[in-house]
Amino acid sequence: MSSVAIDPKKGSDPYSAGEQGLGYIFQPRFALYQALELPEDTAILIEKEDDLDFLESSGKKTLASLKHKAIGERLTDLSVDFWKSVNIWLTRYQANGRVESDYQFFLFTTSSVAPDSFLRFFLYGADATKADPSLWQLTEDTLATSKAKSFTKIKALLSGLTALEKEDFVSRITIVDCTPRIGDLPALIKSQKMRPIRPDHRDAVFERLEGWWNDLIIQMLCDPQSEPVYARDVSEKLFSFSEEYKDDNLPITFEDATPTAPIDASTDNRLFVSQLHHLNLSPSRIRNAILDYYRAFEQRSAWARQRLVGSEEIMTYERRLTNEWERTKDALFDDALNAPIEDCSEPELIAVGKKLYTWAETEAQKLAHLKIRARVIEPYVLRGSFQILANKRPYPTVYWHPQLLDRLSKAAGETE
């Protein structure tokens, strides 16, 4: 078996694709960072004419090449990273009207430009007039020093331009070196763009924002005909997520969640499911109850992990639900049953139990005081919380069938 030599100074496998892998995931994260920096009417496309395309409402278009390099790397005169981008830009420049086009070209790289390289004249804010004899001439002369075949196409494209077009082309190029690395971007976004959000909520908001953004990027990559996303879309989504972390609200992140294991109500022996079987409910209603239980349980657990709610708030919320359930139960049982519970027929007991459950399923959510917080209106939170209360053992806090507690007590006694 052959072995791979490891450079102890670098501490890495020479065949490792680590930096290349970082480059791929750097692209969407850097795009998000830029989206929060750009004017809100800017359209953003990924992997169209370059790594990123930015289209302003004025028609000006910026093509951006992104390079995430190993720490300490420098950009020198004949660096492939620069000339690969030039190759792309020259092609776009010639195909889109040359001096008449509205294109600008940016290279964002985590490496730094070597101080003795002519590329320093392309740096953002640099004075290109100091280039001698001229920046376009330096570009052409530097390119001529290489005999590599990889530069042949670039030389041909550049030679096809007039002197005026060469000068115009290079004037459109900007290098932004020492761009923040992928691991630095989250902290920059949170510190620079999330100041109105409480510091202890910023991690959660960023995680949600980036998750939404990555899903959007995947859709754009899968569908070449997809519409661009606008910077304002990112601003609006950030605002929407941040609103969920206000004192009168909570983030809703499990509205479409399903358990990893298939739902099978016929073999589910949890108490809240057994209660529904006792009411002879349809399989679809029982399945919905299982989903509500799962979503509410997972949501409440997520809130607790993020320290958005404490045990005292949950206890107070469940107490409100229990008190309202108790009042409704007493009223329904009193109105619907014409005899003591022990003298009622099973069909009568099932019928009134169904009415009570239907109230919890459809009517309780209309009561403002039964929301865990004022702006949390998603029904699964309340419905699932009733299921959680109906699942407590040995005796549930809420129940539907009027004789359930007696039957559980009897069953427990027989077991003993």
Q: Say how far apart CA 109 and CA 68 lie, in whole Å.
A: 6
Residue 277 vs residues 204, 258, 353, 368, 393: alpha-carbon distances, Å: 39, 21, 11, 30, 17
Pairing of strands 173-176, 103-109: parallel
Residue 24 pLDDT level (bands cut at 50, 70, 90):
confident
pLDDT at 80: 94
pLDDT of residue 8 exceeding 50? no
Average pLDDT over residues 45-57: 95
pLDDT at 142: 95
Best CA proximity match to 84, nearest among 63, 65, 112, 104:
65
Q: Beta partners for 113?
A: 75
Question: Is the pLDDT score of 277 beyond 70?
Answer: yes
Rounded Cα–Cα distance for residues 272 and 302 (Å): 22
CA–CA distance, 316 with 77 (Å, rounded to integer): 68
Higher-confidence residue: 241 or 16?
241
Mean pLDDT (the chain, rounded)? 92
Task: List the domain boundaries for the chain.
Answer: 18-235, 271-415
pLDDT band at 415 (very low <50, low <70, confident <90, very high): low
**pTM summary value:** 0.81
The per-residue pLDDT for range 344-372, each reduced to its tens digit, is 999 999 999 999 999 999 999 999 999 99
Give the model's pLDDT for residue 225. Answer: 84
Higher pLDDT, 131 or 24: 131
